[in-house]
Homo-oligomer: A and B are copies of this chain.
Amino acid sequence: MAQRGQSDAAGRTPRAPAENASEITTPMPAIGGNGLRDRARAIPEAAVARLAVYLRVLSGMREQGVGSVSSEELSVAAGVNSAKLRKDLSYIGSYGTRGVGYEVEVLIDQIERVLGLTREQSVAVVGIGNLGHALANYGGFPGRGFPVTALFDVDADLMGVPVGGIPVDHIDDIPTVCAAREITIGVIATPPASAQAVCDRLVQAGVECILNFAPVVLQVPETVEVRKVDLAVELQILSFHVARRADSAPDVDAPAPRVNGLPRNNGVVMPR
């Protein structure tokens, strides 16, 4: 046991029991032409999450002037198994050169293409509390940005006040503003009580992808994709590990917690 990502086990909450396959596959035979389209449909969600991580690492490498990487190097920097990395990359096509590795630039382009980052996504943040502020200012982060182009709240005192350069609008204006600014992703950072109402408004405004920070199970039509980040849940999972650890501590003669003197992620220059 060592480092665990946030994922791999959280609360998927499918409203539609059918078609909640973790494989993102639109059951649809290959269309004639190039295979890229088809490939893109078959990428497992787990792989998508990792691709985003690779992209971040690659961006860092590009900034340091690295021209090409082997799967081994990249996998270490990203904290995954190299076979898994190669398999993930194979989902998006074959852009490596055998005997050499991958060209950083090419890989970045391809991952961005698959993740749909070539077309900039406009993000709306609803709920301008502490978290909302943090999100609004998150502006340009590694590997190109998701421009936050709309902010909403109920508090009359906030109306028009620019936060991170964007003026705050009233949540009643969600439909019009979202339509005007072509919002594709909505972020809910409101108190739990108002989350569902806000969500409904976003959906009504045509937003089909929502990132929910409120500790509530949102009810949405099947066409809408919701991902949730629940701080309390994260802490509770960690708490579980603390407890488990304390529990097994008495087990003194367990296999020695071997130091990390593994031959692996050594030497590599990690972006500190």
Contact = CB atoms under 8 A, between A and B. Distances in A.
Interface of A: 1-17, 19-20, 22, 24, 26, 28, 37, 40-41, 43-53, 55-57, 77-81, 113-119, 121, 123, 129-131, 133-135, 137-138, 141-143, 146, 175, 179, 182, 184-185, 192-193, 195-197, 203-206, 208-211, 215-248, 251, 254, 257-260, 262-265, 268, 270-272
Contacts of A45: 4, 8-9, 237
B13 A49 contact: no
A57 B6 contact: no
A114 B240 contact: yes
A247 to B, nearest CB: 6
Contacts of A9: 7-8, 22, 44-49
A173 to B, nearest CB: 15
A234 B7 CA distance: 11
B211 A57 contact: no
Given A13-B5, A52-B237, A24 B196 contact: no
Contacts of A81: 14, 17
A4 B225 contact: yes
A3 B226 contact: yes
Given A113-B271, A142-B192, 19 more contacts: A1-B14, A3-B220, A4-B14, A6-B6, A7-B11, A8-B22, A9-B47, A11-B79, A15-B265, A16-B262, A37-B247, A55-B236, A116-B271, A117-B239, A121-B239, A143-B232, A185-B235, A193-B272, A209-B242
A39 to B, nearest CB: 11
Contacts of A143: 232
Contacts of A222: 1-2, 257-258, 260
